[in-house]
Structure 1
Amino acid sequence: MNDCCLRGFKWDSQPIGKESTLAGRGCYVTGSNAHAAILLIHDVFGWTFPNVRLLADHYAEEVGATVYVPDFFGGDVLPADIILAGPEHWGPLDLPGFFQKNSKEARTPEIFECAKVLRDKCKRLGAIGYCFGGWGVFRLGAKEHKGLVDAISTAHPSYLTEEEISAVAVPVQICSPEHDWLYTEELKAFSNKIIPTLGIPYDYQFFPRLNHGFAVKGDPKEPEEREGMARAKNAAVIWFRQWLHAN
């Protein structure tokens, strides 16, 4: 795992939601709209990472939705302090084992279980994923599962394939940094070639000079990174306002 996926800074705030359960797993829940929901699929830091919960709080308030952040790492949590300290401190961590345990094959069924529970209880459902969560939202929005979610959004998706991109069948938004070894130039070009031919609304947002992970783990003390985090958040807010509150 390249260090660009595991670098960032915590924001100065406290989450205001609560911990509950969803489809039998721990889940951070924030917001109170019974008709519109967002399933947020976390990045490598997991469902307890403060930045992810703070983003969920923003979406709950600014979109007008209940936001659910389930635990898709089976109770495991990478220690944020060690990860944020840099690669030279990762020695005690079994990162290869962690990512093998949390592969697509292992976590896809859980992601769909959560989405189906929310689909049954909500009139409108969106899904947003960061890094690890990016491929997850594309799978939820695939043609073979059309009707499960109403729209998806992702920032700096990881391990996304051309097949997953080609299969998307719901409105899709991608927030893409200029420098991203996981969402490569080839995948960016493929997305921008194929998705416009699929007959679905498509919003591609480009973030010059920023790196993979910026939307969750940028440095708020750096003006360009702070502005990038805010812009990505605002883009997702506008996107979900449209698709979750449509008549």
Structure 2
Amino acid sequence: MSSSECFENPPTLLSSTSSGVGTVQDVGGLKSYVTGSPHSNRAILFVSDVFGYEAPKLRKLADKLAVADQFLVVVPDFFYGDPLDLNNPDRDGWLKAHNMEKGHEDAKQVVAALKSKGLSAIGAAGFCWGGNVVVKLAGSTDIQAAVVLHPGHLTDEDINEVKVHIAILGAERDKIAPQEHIKHLGEILSAKSEFDSFVKIFPGVAHGWTVRYNDEDPFSVNSAEESHLDLTNWFTKYVK
């Protein structure tokens, strides 16, 4: 996870109250961006990349998913107000302080809080750092489905623990999660008959393309939107 690709194309972070149509609330002890119908019985948890829950394009995607299929979408601040600062030279130290094991424990708290509010069906989507957290979450039946977008390095062991319907969306030009490795993980998943899986490699894009795309580049925008549609379709099918 220490590859420089993790830290490229950072979003412009805005105030937690100035981006998106949702609101910031406490969910499971974490400050969270919440968007969508409060009357829905279906929720989607977003686990961000290292740039955190205030990233405008991440929130835009949350808003889009909430409207598309009437999900309640929750984007927690897994970094407790301390997203990665590119001016901080000690990035390995930051990753150690904000490790995926802690992210997984926090994610379980958020899922439990959503269930306590009557949300009976829950999915989870993770981006880069968050993708690895979501794979850990998918090792239980606490959620119904998972989508992993340009993950960090996932091992065979990580994937062998998966117990729920899962989609992995990878990039052709990704040094952190090379397409050959993503395809290998897909082969492991396809051998499992107890749940559905879907693996797709997007041509011509690099790590982070789904939420760090260039608005001025039509190809980048179209590739991101295609991934967003795949994400929406997966959750529509399996989070009921």
Q: 1:189 to 1:203 in 2, by over 3 A?
A: closer
Contact map agreement 1:37 1:125 (CA 8 A) in 2: yes
Looking at structure 1, the residues matched to 160 and 64 of structure 2 have their Cα atoms a distance apart, in angstroms, of: 30
Contact map agreement 2:47 2:124 (CA 8 A) in 1: yes
Task: Give the corresponding residue for 2:184.
Answer: 190
Amino acid at match of 1:22: V
Q: 1:207 aligns with which of 202, 213, 217?
A: 202
Secondary structure at 1:158 match in 2: coil
**Deviation string, structure 1 residues 149-204 (Cα, Å, up to 9, x no partner):** 01100110113221111111111111111011221345313212110111121121
Contact map agreement 1:179 1:212 (CA 8 A) in 2: yes
**Deviation string, structure 1 residues 11-39 (Cα, Å, up to 9, x no partner):** 9x941110001111110000014301000
In the TM superposition, structure 1's runs of 4+ consecutive aligned residues that sit over 3 Å from their partners are none
Contact map agreement 1:138 1:165 (CA 8 A) in 2: yes
Task: Give the corresponding residue for 1:86.
Answer: none
Q: 2:123 aligns with which of 101, 122, 126?
A: 126
Task: Give the corresponding residue for 1:73.
Answer: 79
**Deviation string, structure 1 residues 128-151 (Cα, Å, up to 9, x no partner):** 000011111111111xx22x1011
Looking at structure 2, the residues matched to 150 and 24 of structure 1 have their Cα atoms a distance apart, in angstroms, of: 22
Looking at structure 1, the residues matched to 55 and 34 of structure 2 have their Cα atoms a distance apart, in angstroms, of: 14
Looking at structure 1, the residues matched to 50 and 232 of structure 2 have their Cα atoms a distance apart, in angstroms, of: 22
Amino acid at match of 1:219: N
Q: Structure 1 residue 23 and structure 2 residue 28: aligned?
A: yes
Q: Structure 1 unaligned runs (5+)?
A: 84-89
Q: 1:7 deviation in Å?
A: 2.3
Contact map agreement 1:132 1:159 (CA 8 A) in 2: no
Of Structure 1 and Structure 2, the greater helix share is in: 1
Looking at structure 2, the residues matched to 226 and 9 of structure 1 have their Cα atoms a distance apart, in angstroms, of: 16
Q: 1:157 aligns with which of 151, 157, 178?
A: 151
Looking at structure 2, the residues matched to 175 and 15 of structure 1 have their Cα atoms a distance apart, in angstroms, of: 24
Task: Give the corresponding residue for 2:101.
Answer: 105
TM-score in terms of structure 2 length: 0.90
Task: Give the corresponding residue for 2:229.
Answer: 234
Task: Give the corresponding residue for 1:87.
Answer: none
Task: Give the corresponding residue for 2:4.
Answer: 3
Looking at structure 2, the residues matched to 203 and 185 of structure 1 have their Cα atoms a distance apart, in angstroms, of: 14
Contact map agreement 1:42 1:129 (CA 8 A) in 2: yes
Looking at structure 1, the residues matched to 51 and 208 of structure 2 have their Cα atoms a distance apart, in angstroms, of: 11
Task: Give the corresponding residue for 2:65.
Answer: 59
**Which moved further from structure 2: 225-234 or 1-10?**
1-10
Task: Give the corresponding residue for 1:217.
Answer: 212
Amino acid at match of 1:176: G
Q: 1:6 deviation in Å?
A: 2.0
* Number of equivalenced pairs: 231
CA RMSD of aligned residues (A): 1.8
Secondary structure at 1:108 match in 2: helix
